[in-house]
């Protein structure tokens, strides 16, 4: 059973968003890391890139699979988690403690379209 952390927003493509004022952290859920298996590489955008909701902004790769990262919110990339360059496996061992991007949100109302923890739990069970 995949873990779901309270207090985060979730997308149907299994990204999570943690809001910190006008900024947010973006990562992938426990369900996503489990489906991929051992993660070996995270393809991340450059800092200052714009990401747009529902559009790809990178990819997560395991040995025999790859999955696009889809932006759950729009905004400007403030920082990428370079720790993942050397230790991408952190996304497996600690998916909610390992963010991928820090973004400045361009439209906080987009959060309304995302699921809360309870809704995301039900969503994962339905899959």
Only one of the segments 4-12, 14-22, 27-35, 40-48 lies at the binding site for another protein (rule: CB under 8 A); that segment is 40-48
DSSP secondary structure, 65-107, as one string: -EEEEE-SS-EEEEEE-THHHH-TTHHHH-TTT--SEEEEES-
CB count, 10 Å around CB of 28?
26
Task: State phi, psi for 57 to the nearest 5 degrees.
Answer: -130, 5
Quote the least distance from Cβ 8 to another protein, whole Å.
27
* Nearest distance in Å: CB 75, another protein: 18
Binding mask 52-91 for another protein (x = CB under 8 A): -------x-xxxxxx-x-------------------xx--
Decide: is 46 part of the binding site for another protein (CB under 8 A). yes
Which distant-in-sequence residues (6+ apart) come within 8 Å of 111 by Cβ? Answer: 9, 17, 19, 73, 105
Q: Does 50 participate in binding another protein (rule CB under 8 A)?
A: no
List contacts with another protein (CB under 8 A).
38, 40-41, 43, 46, 59, 61-66, 68, 88-89
């Amino acid at each position: 059973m995949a873990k779901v952390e309270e207090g985060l927003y979730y997308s149907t493509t299994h990204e999570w968003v943690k809001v910190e004022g006008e900024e947010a952290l973006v990562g992938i859920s426990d369900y996503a890391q489990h489906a991929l298996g051992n993660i070996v590489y995270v393809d991340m955008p450059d800092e200052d890139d714009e990401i747009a909701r529902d559009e790809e902004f990178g990819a997560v790769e395991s040995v025999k699979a790859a999955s696009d990262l889809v932006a759950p919110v729009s905004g400007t990339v403030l920082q990428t988690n370079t720790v993942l360059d050397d230790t991408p496996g952190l996304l497996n061992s600690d998916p909610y403690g390992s963010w991928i991007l820090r973004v400045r949100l361009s439209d906080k109302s987009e959060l309304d379209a995302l699921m809360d923890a309870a809704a995301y739990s039900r969503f994962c069970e339905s899959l």
